[in-house]
Structure 1
Amino acid sequence: MGVAVVMLVAVGMVAWRVTATARTVPVRAGLEEVFTGLPAELRPPAQVADLPTDRGVGRGALIYHPGIGAGGFEPESRTFEQHDIYLVTGSGEHFRVGRTPSNVGPRNLSLSPDGRWLGAKRDGHWRVRDLSGVAEYEVPGGYELGLWSTDARSLLLAKPGVDGRAFTMMALPTGVISPLEVRTHAVATEVAFIGGRELAVFEPNPWVDPSAPQELNITLKDVVTGAPRTLPVIAPGQMKPGEVLGPLMVLWHAGGSPPSIWMEVGRADLAPTGGLVAPSVALLGVDVASGGSIARIEMRSADADEQQLCLGVVADGVVLQRWTATSTELIVVDPRRNTRRVVTTLPKFVAVLVPGAKM
């Protein structure tokens, strides 16, 4: 059997990784709808195989697992029952990609916006696997998986420091590492990596009442030249009376083709008595290229049987998870056509990861 040798080049280091060549699954370039072909219902299989290392399985559509805590809590050890974590391909095939932690820590998994690449942290190191084949790249030491570029052609890697974060970029599908000049402050939030060229950054002002702003901007920094530009996210009149930037802090979602950025707004008066979290009631979106407002997506988060959660933005549209009395629905909202559709249903108590997001 032949071998494919992959070289990763970073500042001050050269890393080699050898992987076996094997059958690959053809993948077309560009972002496409990731949920087309999913069965109407997804359920954990009675038996499931681990993600194979000797062949490709095709694009991933989503990752899910039973909710942590759904299977019981052991008071003596203060741990939760563990569950399999499933990668679901575009055809609905399941593969195990890990187990839930015994505590409430992160699962350390991420899918690229096109579903081709799987990021997973094992033994303290992030690795990026091509699901259409067997190539796998190891992220340089000290760096964490940051943001996928909105076009799925690169991956932003972040190195945390006392005064903020430094970044490098992994090109896909080659795995070549390139240092970047851009840095962000410790309190900043990296919102999106637009086309592998601009880093969208939100720097909050801790002295501003979240219920007061009627305008909100983020900064897009060119990762090569460092040149910034301002992108208005909220314009006067977009937030309704009683709405705040929230629920507890500003929550961002970005992606799609063409790329867009969405922000959640909440209503403090809908919080339970004594609660600090303002339930999210809507998403406000902006087109990155034009800077124009896209739409307002209403979310029913106050009713127990209708609660919704935004999972991210893919080529299909904005993805919502909706809980019903008996199941979980995965809903795609196309804000430009003003349509909503249920793409599949899952068991009620599950956590779901969609392409472009991280859990």
Structure 2
Amino acid sequence: MDKIHLTFSQKIIVNVFRQVRIIKGNLVHQKYFFILKHEMQLSEFKYMIHDLGPYSYDLSGDVEYLLQNDILQKYDGQISVGNNILDKVDDIDLEEDEIEKKIAHISSFIQQLFDRTLVSEKNIELAGSILILLWDQEIYVKSEIWEKIKKWKPGFFSLIEFDSVWDILYHKKLISKEVYIPNNYIERLKCLNSGSKNAREYYRLIEKFFRYIFKNELNNFVLKEYWCDGNKKIDFSAENVAKKGIFKKMSKYSSSPINTIPILCKNQDRELFGSDLVESYELLNYEFSNIAFLTIRSFEHDQWILDEMTRFYRENDKKSIKKILFLLQDIDLIDMVEFRLRGIEPSGILKEKLRSVITNRNVVPCS
């Protein structure tokens, strides 16, 4: 009887099962090979999004063929290598020793991940669903991934389970720092209470937001603490190193270079007062800058604030470029981080804010 000739993808499957011995069920081995494919950068096993996460018809067909020819065997839902397979196939060796070593290394990693860390099939399914959205769909905003998964299986996974598996995948280096850390900033800001008790944590977090959002425009952040009217104030400034974008354009048309951009942070649990804007404008004059930021948690009276900012902007007619205060709420900062995660330049939000101030019709321009 002629021996069976295996394709390269079938050889990979056999070598994996020789390393792992047994893999539980169809759901698990689909997720297993999905991670293997990514880590080894294999072109074999094309995957699609399925109700249960990543699924490959190529893999399913190969496994079924190997089962039918007793190269693999299935017992009680578990798949393992069959008996005396060397008598049935002409060759199971891969062309390069390095590939076999890599399969052995990655197989050991995945086995530990599944058996010791994720443990349950439910967690493995959830991990696979997260990873296919990250790797194949290139969705990097955590909240968007969660919304997608909820639509697949409404009520099946809890947010606590999702957060737990997300953290596991990061610590196992299956989610990169470039994705995990900015999403972590967003979650920390959403959970942080307003008020003076958490002021320092808020300032430090806002600095991280600015470093990430404007990583190509701002640098050399300096934290400043001072006393004003008996109250301790904290703000920071950044050096403008932009070679393009809104900071570069405003600096280009200014009578003097915009080297320093002050950032005033208010982790307040009250409405914004006119004095807050005055303080920000004074900071602009003190720093000899034409641009400043004021970050607050949220506000309700949008039009009043817009009117005040427009009035200030138009009262600076004598300057070659008028001074502008960018007022950013939590939602603005979160949007800009998510824009960058999607590969979109976040300064577009600033351009819209600037346009709103310049074209505000509720304020009569200064004569």
TM-score bracket relative to the smaller structure:
under 0.3
Q: TM-score, normalised by structure 2?
A: 0.27
Which is helix-richer, 1 or 2? 2
Which is strand-richer, 1 or 2? 1
Select the structure with the greater relative contact order (CA < 8 A; seq sep ≥ 6): 1
**Greater Rg by CA:** 2
Q: TM-score, normalised by structure 1?
A: 0.27
